């Protein structure tokens, strides 16, 4: 298998025998793991005992296993390292499933170690037994059931290898209790490298394809670069910026790709898709050549497939061949890691004698600027109520655009994406693919552990925050002072918006009644609570909150409950068919009122 083994040796130079629990913990240490997010229980008690007896790998005790998965996932999103979770069998494992699926949908590297009942009783409906390998199978990149303690270290290595390479994703390692038996000791070896004959993810792109792609790109009249989460996962932001600047083409990012290209740059035309900008969606619609980079043509992005980019030839770079031509047929597929492929493309462009047509490009930018002038993200700034968009704008200013922003799911998530202009990758931490409410708070804790000096804010809604509110306790225990920006509209705003548009405002069960007093709740958990009801107080309240460097602050901000997210492509519509807040030239809601 060709690896340089890491052998634990004692003073005499003999290899030391370890039990399974120690092997597991030692493997994590040798893998360079800093934090494990977990929750104990019967099946993992041996492991917890081994954790107790060392302090290299730090354990973060969450309050619910879902919280552990989101915190580990966000730690991975913010750092690029693999997040690690430890849960017990049965309910511990099932509680982790939502978080595993969340990481799976967004291709986040994560290793989840779940306890399992002892091997001899597997299959007997033993106490706290669930078939975790079976339950997790559809939402993991891969999973393992450890059957032999002598294979444990190698299995852990494989789990990290699979989770973090190719298209990343979560890997579950199910460890029966007998495998971690303190009395069974075997020699410990942690492989530095593993190879698997059945797993060989692509790296470099095909030269011929790259050449063809560059030819096409350089001949474009109305080009568009559409980049996604793959650029962030593949650490290729620098290359993307270089390529985009070299070409002078407009660029749009998916929700998952925000920050890969600086949002404040003039070539950036905003997010695309359902709640993307008018200019990005119109640009896609009218484009003749699209370069898709590490993006997967999600339905939130494409809208009605039959009307998607009717005039465009499409180049698609993706490490996962199954992402290519899955929903949208592309013309030039390039399978490979974004970083080397973009590097190859940049070289090709520099070598090429061809130049993009200056005239065509100027005309194209002129068209884009016309779309931009619609100012699709404008909202009623004069409103006496606190507009959620205004909160995000103020948050952006107070944090100088340099905070890590986690979010939950709903309108607040879209406002954060639209109005916090992410200039750097890994700053925007949200659940895009699964859209998991409850993600934001544990995610903020995971990020803050990774970057204790940075400002970390969780933009949330009064419904989402209650799904993992118990993690306020974790935040206190581990002193992770995050700022919770609760855009409290007393509605499941996103649901209400759809009901307003598509169900004649029948607000079926989307009203959040009997809300807790969030200020008191925060205080009960040992944090600072702030209620902001007046627009005039918002700025100073935010400043005050962020000045409290060592406190978690829960800001309950009472926002305009009727506000909707615009622009919007309603389901079943195409990019060119956007619903705008204000059709160009018409008076605002308030002017009419």
Partner 1 sequence: MRHIISILIENEAGALSRVAGLFSARGYNIESLTVAPTEDSSLSRMTLVTRGNDDIIEQITKQLNKLVDVVKLIDLAESAHIERELMMVKVKTSEATRAEIKRIADIFRGRIIDVTPMTFVIEMTGTSDKLDAFVKAIDETTIIEVVRSGATGICRGEKGLHL
Ligand X SMILES: Cc1cc2nc3c(=O)[nH]c(=O)nc-3n(C[C@H](O)[C@H](O)[C@H](O)COP(=O)(O)OP(=O)(O)OC[C@H]3O[C@@H](n4cnc5c(N)ncnc54)[C@H](O)[C@@H]3O)c2cc1C
Ligand Y SMILES: Cc1ncc(C[n+]2csc(CCOP(=O)(O)OP(=O)(O)O)c2C)c(N)n1
For 457, phi then psi, to 5°, come to: -125, 140
Q: Which of 91, 187, 248, 435 binds ligand Y (CB under 6 A)?
A: 435
Question: Is 65 part of the annotated catalytic residue set?
Answer: yes
Site for partner 1 in 311-330 (CB under 8 A): 320-322, 325-326, 329
Q: Is 520 a catalytic residue?
A: no
Q: Which residue from 38, 99, 228, 461 is in contact with Mg ion, where contact means CB under 5 A? A: 461
CB of 591 to ligand X, least distance (A): 28
For ligand X, the binding residues in 309-328 under the rule CB under 6 A are 317-320, 323
150-189 residues in contact with partner 1 (CB under 8 A) are 162
11 lies in the binding site for partner 1 (CB under 8 A): no
Mask: binding to partner 1, 265-304, rule CB under 8 A, as x and -?
A: ----------------------------------------
C-alpha 165 chain-centroid distance: 17
* Whether the Cβ atoms of residue 546 and residue 552 lie closer than 8 Å to each other: no
Does the footprint of partner 1 cover residue 477 (CB under 8 A)? no
The catalytic position among 81, 141, 157, 177 is 177
E runs forming strands in 230-331:
251-253, 268-271, 289-293, 313-318
List Cα–Cα distances, 225 to 132, 280, 532, in angstroms: 41, 10, 40
Radius of gyration of the chain (CA): 25
Cα separations in angstroms, 332 against 296, 304, 522:
15, 22, 53
Select from 15, 137, 299, 378 the one that contacts partner 1 (CB under 8 A): 137
CA gap 546, 537 in Å, rounded = 14
Residues 407-426 that bind ligand X (CB under 6 A): 409, 413
Q: Rounded to 5, what percent of the chain is helix, strand, coil?
A: 40, 20, 40
* Contact flag: residue 440 with Mg ion (CB under 5 A): no
Cβ atoms 488, 461 nearer than 8 A: yes
Q: Beta-strand (E) ranges in 201-302?
A: 223-227, 251-253, 268-271, 289-293
- How far, in Å, CA of 448 to CA of 482, rounded? 7
Characterize 341-357 residue by residue with b for buried, 16 or more Cβ atoms within 10 angstroms of its Cβ, and e for exposed.
bbbbbbebbeeeeeebe
121 binds partner 1 (CB under 8 A): no
The pairs formed by 245-248 with CB atoms below 8 angstroms and a separation of 24 or more are 246/346, 246/349, 246/350, 247/217, 247/223, 247/349, 247/356, 248/356, 248/361
Orientation angle between helical segments 237-247 and 338-351, nearest 10 degrees: 30
464 sits near ligand Y (criterion: CB under 6 A)? yes
Question: Catalytic annotation on 504?
Answer: no
* Of residues 27 and 82, the one with the C-beta less far from ligand X: 82
* Residue of 139, 256, 289, 403 that binds ligand X (CB under 6 A): 256
Candidates 174, 462, 471, 563; binder of ligand Y (CB under 6 A) is 462
Q: Which DSSP string corresponds to 125-194?
A: --TT---HHHHHGGGSSEEEE---GGGHHHHHHHHHHHHHSSS--EEEEEEEGGGG-TT-EEE-EEES--
* Among 256-264, 360-368, 490-498, 583-591, the segment contacting ligand Y (CB under 6 A): 490-498
Verify whether residue 535 is a known catalytic residue. Answer: no
DSSP 199: B
Per CB under 6 A, the list member of 70, 77, 158, 275 interacting with ligand X is 275
Number of residues written out for the chain: 593
The yes or no reply on residue 392 touching ligand Y (CB under 6 A) is: no
Q: Is 47 a residue that touches partner 1 (CB under 8 A)?
A: no
Of the residues 22, 37, 65, 413, only one is catalytic, namely 65
Give the residue among 488, 490, 496, 462 at the shortest CA–CA distance from 564. Answer: 496
30, 65, 73, 106: which one binds ligand X (CB under 6 A): 106
- Tell me which residues in 344-403 interact with ligand X (CB under 6 A): none
CA distance 251 to 268: 5
| Contact pick of 142, 275, 448, 581 for partner 1 (by CB under 8 A) | 142
The one catalytic residue in 52, 127, 378, 591 is: 127
Contacts with Mg ion: how many residues (CB under 5 A)?
A: 4
For Mg ion, the closer of residues 463 and 569 by Cβ is: 463
Task: Rule CB under 5 A: say whether 336 interacts with Mg ion.
Answer: no
- Residue 131 vs 537, nearer CB to partner 1: 131
Based on the residue annotation, tell me whether 127 is a catalytic residue of this protein: yes
Distances (CA, A) of 526 to 477, 515, 523: 10, 19, 5
Question: Contact residues for Mg ion (CB under 5 A)?
Answer: 461-462, 489, 493
- Which residues are known to be catalytic? 65, 127-128, 177, 494
Question: Contact residues for partner 1 (CB under 8 A)?
Answer: 133-134, 137-138, 141-143, 145, 147, 162, 196-199, 320-322, 325-326, 329
Question: Contact residues for ligand X (CB under 6 A)?
Answer: 106-107, 167, 228-230, 233-234, 254-257, 271-276, 294-296, 298, 300-301, 317-320, 323, 337-338, 409, 413, 432-433, 435, 494
């Amino acid at each position: 298998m060709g690896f340089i083994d890491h052998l634990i040796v004692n003073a005499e130079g003999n290899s030391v025998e370890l039990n399974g629990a120690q092997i597991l913990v030692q493997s994590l240490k040798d893998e360079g793991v800093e934090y494990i997010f977990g929750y104990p229980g019967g099946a993992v008690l041996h492991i917890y005992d081994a954790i107790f007896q060392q302090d290299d790998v730090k354990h973060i005790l969450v309050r619910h296993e879902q919280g552990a998965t989101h915190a580990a996932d966000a730690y991975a999103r913010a750092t690029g390292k693999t997040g690690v979770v430890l849960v017990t069998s049965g309910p511990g494992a099932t509680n982790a499933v939502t978080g595993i699926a969340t990481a799976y949908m967004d291709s986040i590297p994560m290793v989840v170690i779940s306890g399992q009942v002892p091997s001899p009783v597997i299959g007997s409906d033993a106490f706290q037994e669930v078939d975790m390998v079976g339950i997790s199978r559809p939402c993991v990149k891969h999973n393992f059931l450890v059957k032999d303690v002598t294979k444990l270290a190698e299995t852990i290595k494989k789990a990290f290898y699979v989770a973090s390479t190719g298209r990343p994703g979560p890997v579950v390692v199910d460890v029966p209790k007998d495998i971690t038996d303190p009395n069974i000791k075997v020699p410990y070896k942690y492989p530095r490298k593993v190879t698997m004959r059945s797993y060989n993810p692509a790296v470099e792109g095909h030269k011929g394809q790259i050449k063809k792609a560059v030819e096409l790109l350089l001949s474009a009249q109305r080009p568009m670069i559409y980049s996604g989460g793959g650029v962030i996962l593949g650490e290729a932001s620098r290359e993307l910026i270089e390529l985009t600047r070299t070409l002078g083409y407009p660029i749009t990012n998916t929700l998952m790709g925000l920050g890969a290209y600086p949002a404040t740059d003039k070539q950036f035309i905003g997010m695309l898709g359902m709640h993307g900008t008018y200019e990005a969606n119109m640009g896609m619609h009218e484009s003749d050549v699209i370069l898709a980079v590490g993006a997967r043509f999600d339905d939130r992005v494409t809208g009605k497939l039959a009307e998607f980019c009717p005039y465009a030839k499409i180049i698609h770079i993706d490490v996962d061949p199954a992402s290519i031509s899955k929903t949208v047929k592309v013309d030039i597929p390039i399978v490979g890691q974004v970083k080397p492929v973009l590097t190859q493309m940049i070289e090709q462009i520099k070598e090429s004698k061809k130049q993009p047509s200056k005239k065509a490009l100027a005309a194209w930018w002129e068209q884009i600027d016309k779309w931009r002038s619609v100012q699709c993200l404008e909202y009623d700034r004069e409103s006496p109520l606190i507009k959620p968009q205004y909160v995000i704008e103020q948050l952006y200013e107070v944090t100088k655009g340099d905070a890590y922003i986690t979010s939950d799911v709903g309108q607040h998530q879209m406002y954060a994406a639209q109005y916090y202009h992410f200039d750097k990758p890994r700053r925007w931490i949200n659940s895009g693919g699964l859209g998991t409410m409850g993600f934001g708070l544990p995610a903020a804790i995971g990020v803050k552990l990774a970057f204790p000096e940075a400002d970390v804010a969780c933009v949330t809604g009064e419904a989402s925050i209650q799904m993992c509110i118990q993690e306020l306790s974790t935040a206190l225990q581990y002193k992770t002072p995050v700022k919770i920006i609760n855009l409290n509209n007393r509605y499941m705003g996103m649901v209400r918006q759809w009901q307003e548009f598509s169900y004649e405002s029948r607000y079926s069960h989307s009203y959040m009644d009997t809300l807790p007093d969030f200020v008191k709740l925060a205080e009960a958990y040992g944090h600072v609570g702030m209620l902001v009801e007046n627009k005039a107080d918002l700025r100073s309240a935010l400043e005050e909150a962020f000045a409290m460097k060592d406190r978690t602050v829960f800001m309950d901000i009472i926002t305009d409950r009727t506000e909707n997210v615009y622009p919007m492509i309603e389901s079943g519509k195409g990019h060119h068919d956007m619903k705008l807040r204000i059709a160009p030239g018409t008076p605002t809601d308030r002017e009419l009122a």
